[in-house]
Amino acid sequence: MGERKQYDRTDLLDKAIELFRLRGFNGTSTAELVTDLGVNRKSMYAEFGSKQGLFEAALERYDHKHLTAVLAPVEAPDAGVDAIRSAFAGYASASTGWARGRGCLMCNTAVERGALDAASGRYVAAYLDRITRAFRHALGNAQRSGDIDPATDLGQLAAFFTTALIGVAASIRAEAPPEQIQAACTVATSVLDTHRPTDGS
């Protein structure tokens, strides 16, 4: 029988997520990972193959756990305009909370490594696609329920909300003034009001 692992893989990934989220890939050394994760270098490499392998596993874990929670309002089957407002309100609240200075691991990766590392770029592309599809889904529901004008280009509007949300997440990471982030979220969601059906719709 092989030697029993003295660690839990999920626990290691959750710890790694926070390290990479706070310091970035380049700013987190292998020595820091070994120390902060509480495993020896041999065990870390046996489990993940390399620092890059650990990073990719952390991105996948982040997508399944954290993004699923963040995007829950707009990915819900009955999501609509209120869900979009709720998603931005959640980010606005995060500007004064624990996420301040940390931001979103995927967004951080998009800025730091998306254009430099093909593997990271694939995760970033999937991340952007997921957000856009979530907004498109909520907007489609809203249009069918009569909350969005039938003539609205939902693809363009979903792209706008995706870009706005990424900008907000980056601002949280950069520790922009909370009032600035909250104002940006308010203005972003006010676009929904400009796409309400007209009397003649």
Q: Any idea where the domains of the chain sit in the sequence? A: 1-61, 71-201
Cβ atoms within 10 Å of 187's Cβ, excluding its own: 11
- pLDDT score of 180: 96
Give domain 1-61's CATH architecture.
Orthogonal Bundle (1.10)
Write the pLDDT tens digit of every residue in 76-88: 999 999 999 999 9
Closest CA to 100 of 168, 186, 25, 28: 168
Q: Is 96 exposed, middle or buried (0-12, 13-18, 19+ CB in 10 A)?
A: middle
- pLDDT score of 117: 77
43-52, 126-135, 180-189: which range is least confident on average?
A: 43-52
**Exposure class string for 29-56: b at 16+ Cβ within 10 A, else e:** eeeebbeebebeeebbbebbeebeebbb
- pLDDT score of 88: 95
pLDDT at 196 over 90: yes
Give domain 71-201's CATH architecture.
Orthogonal Bundle (1.10)
- pLDDT score of 162: 96
> Which contacts qualify for 37-41: CB closer than 8 Å, 24 or more apart?
37/7, 37/12, 38/7, 39/6, 39/7, 39/12
- pLDDT score of 121: 84
pLDDT at 4 over 60: no
CA distance 94 to 170: 12
